[in-house]
Amino acid sequence: MKASLANRLRIGLAVLLVILGGVTVLGVGRLFQLRRDFEDSTSRAFQLQVAAERMRSAFVLEQASLVHFDREPRPARITYNSAADASREATAAAEQLAAHDPRAAALLARRVQAEVAWRRRVARRVLAHHAPPPSFQRQLATPVFDAGSALGLYTLQERQALRRQVSSDSRKTLTLVLIGLGSAVVAAALFFFGLINSMREPLARLVTAARRLAARDLGSRVEVSGPIETATLGEAFNEMASELQGAYRRIEEVRNQLSVTVESLADGLVTVDDGGRILQLNPAARALLPEAESGTAIGEAIGDPQATERLMEVIANRERGEMPATKGERVLSVLVAPLGGERGAVLSIRDVSERARVEKLKDEFVATASHELRSPLTSVKGFAELLMLQRDQMTDEQVENVEIILEGTSHLVQVLNNLLDLARSDAGRLRIAPEQCDVAAMVDEVVKLMRPRIAAKGHRLQVAVDPDLPHVLVEPARFRQVLGNLLTNANDYTPDGGEIEVTAMAVGPEIEVAVRDSGPGIPADKLEEVFGRFNRLDAGETQSITGSGLGLAISKSLVELHGGAIGVDSKLGEGSTFRFVLPAVQAGGPNGAGADGVAATESVGDPQ
Amino acid sequence: MTRLLVADDSETIRLLLERRLAIEGYEVESVCCGQDVLDRLDGDEAKPHPDVILLDAMMPGKSGLDVLRELRDHGDTTPVLMVSAHRQLDELRELGADGFMTKPIDWDELIAKIEELTGAPA
């Protein structure tokens, strides 16, 4: 079972403390014990010495009491008896004290024997005979004093020995305690060293594994070992490595997919740096630009030095853009997607030569077809008109027949003109010759031309033109074409007996011309489409519309070519208002030949 | 009477112009190609010079534009009305055309232009 490093440390510290504490307590106790023993022994030695001194005093007194016994026996006897008692008491006390010490006991015994010998040979004789003490009492007393001195000396020596003993014992004890403490500290050091070692190994393995991982060895794992801490770290590392491996694998898969996609793309893909130099190409790009290599400028690869400049402009704008380019005979469409920052861009290159060729063919076809159709149309129309010059020689039915031919012809001509204009507009070749024109005069011309057709449908026409309008810069025929288209539509789409209003006024720096009708209106979802091609609105079953479906489309092109804009407001059931605005000529001259179309309301049925 | 020289490669158109413009009171002579126009003007002095030339802009061989260029290069200032399917106003003006008509022909417009160029009715 693995223990955590923290727990091991805690246990180690506790054990160390217990050992240190134990050793200290034992050492102190031992010293204390030694001291007490020493004091006890010293005390006994002192008491023994004291007892010995008492014995000596009592013996001296005994001796002294006997000196004058023959002269004053009574007090001498009393003194002697007291001294003898004291001697016996002291002896008893000394014997008791010396009981545990054979050497002291032996010395004491010799003292006692000497005393007993003195008493028998000196004291008893003096007491029994009331005689003066014999002369030899001094010799007999000597052994007693000697023995007493020996005992005293012994106790003195004994005390010194005890002191030496206790010093030695204390030193030994202290040494033992120090040895114990030292051992505990060494053991603790070894223990902690071991702990550190137990971590060092797993940590070193972890570091190695992490380095391998950083060097893209994603299979790198670490053996889970050591204390819980390093083990957990190892497990976490392994989990992380697995996650990383998985993520790398997924990235690799996506990258692989992407790379296959890019390689198999039919369009050429080129990545360039922010200086327009090629970084990478896919096979389609290599086929389109055989000179291209990593590092070549894009202009060099295409063979058009300006291509690099144009590319840099698109990149600087930081927005996707298309960049036309030609490489020899081929027309290329280059879509530029800047990567942002200083990271260059991705170019998607497509060979649009075929498309360009088809566009050109279409333009040529339209031009040729309209030209080729024009000659026969001119004949048909011209000869029909010749016939009409002789209408008084024809029956009514014949006249009607010729009129139908003429109507169909002019419709065809209109369609042809519109087609040609649109083709030119698409090719950017629709040109205008603008001049300063009076809006009122032009509106008047168109209204005059349209009046019979409007009258034929019984519409009420109102014309309101601001008399002080500034001039506009337009090609008059084109202005008439646009207004004619709008008015024709209003006339055709409005059910008989409706209302049509033509207005022209200044709105800020622009002139706004509007044609309002009381027709069926346009559904909101169709409003966007009306300016598209061939988008003819369903005008109801009773209406037969003969337009080409191109009128509004060409009108939009023309108005925009003049720097204006065209739009429509309409609600189903409430009629429509088509309006176009053109920039006014600022600070222009006076208003031409007076306002022809001054706000006038007239019934179209009126005779001119 | 105003004399018109008409050049068009289409016989039908020539016929149409001859008939219609005759009705309108003009003396009309027609040729079928650009070279004939130059020959007609260069050659026979006996024939009177036309007052206005109607040139089809697109004809095989010498086109109307070529004829116009050559005429003006030779110092011939006879008024020329160019008839074409295309509008090429700028180029035509530069070359010295005096008017421009599109097909199909608007007779009122054509007659107005001829009268403007000759300064007199037919």
Share of chain A above pLDDT 70, in %: 93
Number of other residues whose CB lies within 10 A of the CB of residue B110: 19
Cβ contact, residue pair A382, B10, below 8 Å: no
How confident is residue A103, by pLDDT bands cut at 50, 70 and 90?
A: confident
Classify each residue of A390-416 as buried b or exposed e, where b means 16 or more C-beta atoms within 10 Å of its C-beta: eeeeeeeeebeebeebbeebeebbbbb
Q: Give the pLDDT confidence of A195-237 residue by residue, as tens digits.
A: 888 888 888 888 998 999 888 888 888 888 777 888 888 899 9
| Residue B20 contacts A, CB cutoff 8 Å | yes
Average pLDDT, chain A: 84
Q: Evaluate whether B84 touches B38 at the Cβ level (below 8 Å).
A: no
Residues 32-51 of B with CB under 8 A from A: none
Concatenated DSSP letters of A428-489 = T------EEE-HHHHHHHHHHHHHHHHHHTT-EEEEEE-TTPPPEEE-HHHHHHHHHHHHHH
Concatenated DSSP letters of A272-325 = E-TTSBEEEE-HHHHHH-TT--TT-BHHHHHT-HHHHHHHHHHHHHTS-EEEEE
Q: Give the pLDDT confidence of A456-468 residue by residue, as tens digits.
A: 999 999 999 988 8
Q: Could you give phi then psi for residue A97, rounded to 5 degrees? A: -70, -35
Task: Identify the closest residue of chain A to B19 by CA–CA distance.
Answer: A386
pLDDT tens digits in sequence order for chain B, 122 residues long: 899 999 999 899 999 999 999 999 999 999 998 888 888 888 766 678 899 999 988 888 888 888 998 988 888 889 999 887 665 555 666 677 888 888 888 899 899 999 999 887 76
| Residue A74 contacts B, CB cutoff 8 Å | no
Cβ contact, residue pair A386, B85, below 8 Å: no
Strand A278-281 versus strand A268-272 pairing type: antiparallel
Q: How far is A406 from chain B (nearest CA, A)?
A: 12
Dig out the tokens for A426 from the structure: 């698409």
| Residue A448 contacts B, CB cutoff 8 Å | no
| Residue A381 contacts B, CB cutoff 8 Å | yes
Query: Which among B13, B19, B87 is the nearest to A386, CB-wise?
Result: B19
Cβ contact, residue pair B12, A386, below 8 Å: no
Q: Which residues of B touch A374 (CB under 8 A)?
A: 85, 103-104
Residue A77 has pLDDT above 50, yes or no: yes
Task: Identify the closest residue of chain A to B58 by CA–CA distance.
Answer: A371
Cβ contact, residue pair A431, B103, below 8 Å: no
| Residue A390 contacts B, CB cutoff 8 Å | no
Number of other residues whose CB lies within 10 A of the CB of residue A346: 18
10 Å CB burial of residue A526 (0-12, 13-18, 19+) is middle
To which residue do tokens 């789409």 refer? A493
How confident is residue A167, by pLDDT bands cut at 50, 70 and 90?
A: very high
Q: Which residues of A touch B104 (CB under 8 A)?
A: 374, 377-378, 381-382, 409, 413
Number of other residues whose CB lies within 10 A of the CB of residue A43: 12
Residue A379 has pLDDT above 80, yes or no: yes
Cβ contact, residue pair B12, A375, below 8 Å: yes
Q: Give the pLDDT confidence of A556-593 residue by residue, as tens digits.
A: 989 998 999 999 998 888 899 999 999 988 754 444 33
Residue A608 has pLDDT above 80, yes or no: no
Strand A268-272 versus strand A510-517 pairing type: unpaired
| Residue A494 contacts B, CB cutoff 8 Å | no
Q: Which residues of A touch B13 (CB under 8 A)?
A: 375, 378-379, 382
Kindly report whether the global pTM for this prediction surpasses the value 0.90. no
Dig out the tokens for A389 from the structure: 């010059």
How confident is residue A25, by pLDDT bands cut at 50, 70 and 90?
A: very high
Supply the DSSP symbol for A119.
I
Cβ contact, residue pair A386, B20, below 8 Å: yes
Dig out the tokens for A206 from the structure: 């972890």
Q: How far is A353 from chain B (nearest CA, A)?
A: 27
Residue by residue, what is the 3-state secondary structure of A372-432? HHHHHHHHHHHHHHHHHHCHHHCCHHHHHHHHHHHHHHHHHHHHHHHHHHHHHHHCCCCCC
CA nearest A553: which of A428, A421, A358, A362?
A421
Residue A539 has pLDDT above 70, yes or no: no
Residue A135 has pLDDT above 60, yes or no: yes
Which residue(s) pair with A1 in the sheet?
Answer: none
pLDDT computed for residue A120 by the predictor: 85
Instruction: Return left, alpha or beta for A271; rule: phi > 0 is left, psi -120 to 50 is alpha, else beta.
Output: beta
To which residue do tokens 């603008």 refer? A434
Residue A2 has pLDDT above 80, yes or no: no
Lowest mean pLDDT across A69-73, A488-492, A538-542: A538-542
Q: Could you give phi then psi for residue A569, rounded to 5 degrees? A: -120, 130
| Residue B89 contacts A, CB cutoff 8 Å | yes
| Residue B10 contacts A, CB cutoff 8 Å | yes
Q: Which residues of B touch A376 (CB under 8 A)?
A: 12
Q: How far is B20 from chain A (nearest CA, A)?
A: 7
Query: Which among B16, B23, B107 is the nearest to A383, CB-wise?
Result: B16
Cβ contact, residue pair A375, B13, below 8 Å: yes
Non-local CB neighbours of A548 within 8 Å, separated by 6+ positions: A411, A414, A415, A418, A419
Which residue(s) pair with B6 in the sheet?
Answer: B30, B54
Residue by residue, what is the 3-state secondary structure of A126-195? HHHHCCCCCCCHHHHHHHHHHHHHHHHHHHHHHHHHHHHHHHHHHHHHHHHHHHHHHHHHHHHHHHHHHH
Cβ contact, residue pair B104, A382, below 8 Å: yes
Query: Which among B89, B90, B105 is the nearest to A382, CB-wise?
Result: B105
Cβ contact, residue pair A389, B13, below 8 Å: no
Q: Give the pLDDT confidence of A53-75 residue by residue, as tens digits.
A: 888 888 888 888 888 788 888 88
Task: Identify the closest residue of chain A to B13 by CA–CA distance.
Answer: A379
Q: Which amino acid is at A411?
A: H
Supply the DSSP symbol for A607.
-
Mutate to test the interface with B, among A366, A370, A371, A375 (most CBs of B within 10 A): A375
Q: What is the ipTM of this complex?
A: 0.90
CA–CA separation, A39 and A24 (whole Å): 23
Q: Give the pLDDT confidence of A402-450 residue by residue, as tens digits.
A: 999 998 898 888 888 888 888 778 777 777 888 899 999 999 999 998 9
CA nearest A359: which of A423, A421, A415, A417?
A423
Query: Which among A374, A431, A433 is the nearest to B103, CB-wise?
Result: A374
Query: Which among A367, A379, A431 is the nearest to B13, CB-wise?
Result: A379
Higher model confidence: residue A423 or residue A477? A477
How confident is residue A500, by pLDDT bands cut at 50, 70 and 90?
A: very high
